Amino acid sequence: MSRIEQPAAARFPEFFYRQTKSGRSLASILHCERIPLADLAERFGTPLYVYSASAIRDRVGAFELAFHAVPHTLCYSVKANSNLGILRLLARLNCGFDVVSGGELERVLQVSRAAARKTVFSGVGKSRPEMEAALAANILLFNVESESELSALAECAARLKKTARIALRVNPDVSAETHPYISTGLREHKFGVPISEAIRLYAQAARRSRLSIAGVSVHIGSQILDVKPFGQTMERVAELVRELRSNHAIKYVDAGGGLGIDYDDQTSDFAERLAAYAQALSAPLSGLDVHLLLEPGRSIVGPAGILLTRVLYKKTNRGKTFLIADAAMNDLLRPALYGAYHQIIPVEATAGNSRETVDVVGPVCETGDFLARDRELPTMQEGGLLAVLDAGAYGMSLASNYNTRPRPAEVLIDGRTAKLVRRRESIADLLRLERKTK
């Protein structure tokens, strides 16, 4: 018996096929690190989110290497994947966090109260209770997104006798080639304040005794593959910092996140793109002596996770073939919401398998419930397992209970250890908060 190992794709070293030859048959079983995915499906059921701890460590390490020459802090974007097990791993890797709600802040505090000192709070609609919780936790920075929010934060800080360190999130009016739902840097978007109004608003903030001006913040969108918009943005931010320095102590520049991953090209070189990204951000800031805050999310956890799903039924309607899987749009919304592409591969691949064009769909009562359309895959049978790649970001965090479907379990793999970091919901869980009335 011989064993051959190969990655599922070039940039997925933690997800690999182990080929076993026995007699005349040859089977390739997909693993996460050292554990067969088929074993995880048997143990935890499907649909199932599976994350690789090694992949997350590797991505954090790649960021640290790319930015080693620049004073910086990685503030992981919690909205990408807020599982406590993943946040705990990132805290141990000395990461800070970017949160956009009081709930996300509480998740960070559950993991490490010390991490609050490296946490930034973004978002256009911070409520006063959320501001008060962040002030009590002594977070690093509030990214303020409107004049009204500036006043509300000043009032909260004065009432609690706390000092709020702030940066204004400026809107640079830079276009990023990405999906319109996740583009945030143009004047027609709800985010930030016009960069032309920043000087006036910083002067207004300086008159508030409980506000401490500490930086400038910017974020132009998500899933951006071309680094040029990042460079253009930083050039405008650097010009603003130079203007502000005459009156304000600007220590931090929060560059936001947004660096994308290539869902289509599984051979793309992330380290090369990351180096170009680091150059685009740091070059315009040269000589300014600022501390760079980075908010990566998808680029750290996206390729570190897969969604494991089982084929329930196979059907053909007048030449159209459907694989009906037990994972649906409520489990992974991105294809239905954005028309997003995710590579899908079989957990067990047999040498010489035939291929067919199929739609991979779920059980939800919507035509928009699909994981892939007109996708050429190895021929699958009912009961077979599929792995949806690049599902670590905005998979579980966008999941819902539509059709009263319990959300999947989540498992974090570290070498030969599989840790259940979120159990599968039950129907009883879904009904628990609802009042029974006659």
Looking only at Cα atoms, what is the longest distance across the chain? 80
Per annotation, catalytic residue among 32, 75, 156, 365: 365
- What would the two tokens of residue 133 be? 């919780």
Distance, in Å, from the CA atom of 178 to the CA atom of 197, rounded to the nearest integer, reads: 26
SS (H, E, C) the chain: CEEEEEECCCCCCCEEEEEEEECCEEEEEEEECCEEHHHHHHHHCCCEEEEEHHHHHHHHHHHHHHCCCCCEEEEEEHHHCCCHHHHHHHHHCCCEEEECCHHHHHHHHHHCHHHHHHEEECCCCCCHHHHHHHHHHCCCEEEECCHHHHHHHHHHHHHHCCCEEEEEEEECCCCCCCCHHHECCCCCCCCCEEHHHHHHHHHHHHCCCCEEEEEEECCCECCECCCHHHHHHHHHHHHHHHHHCCCCCCCEEECCCCECCCCCCCCCCHHHHHHHHHHHHHHHHCCCCCEEEECCCHHHHCCCEEEEEEEEEEEEECCEEEEEECCCCCCCCHHHHHCCCCCEEECEEECCCCEEEEEEECCCCCCCCEEEEEEEEECCCCCCEEEECCCCCCCHHHCCCHHHCCCCEEEEEECCEEEEEECCCCHHHHHCCCCCCC
Is 75 among the catalytic positions? no
202 CB neighbour count, 10 Å cutoff: 23
- What would the two tokens of residue 107 be? 């998740």
161 in the Ramachandran plot: left (φ > 0), alpha (ψ -120 to 50) or beta?
left
Contact assessment for residue 234 and residue 228, using Cβ atoms and an 8 Å cutoff:
no
List active site positions: 365
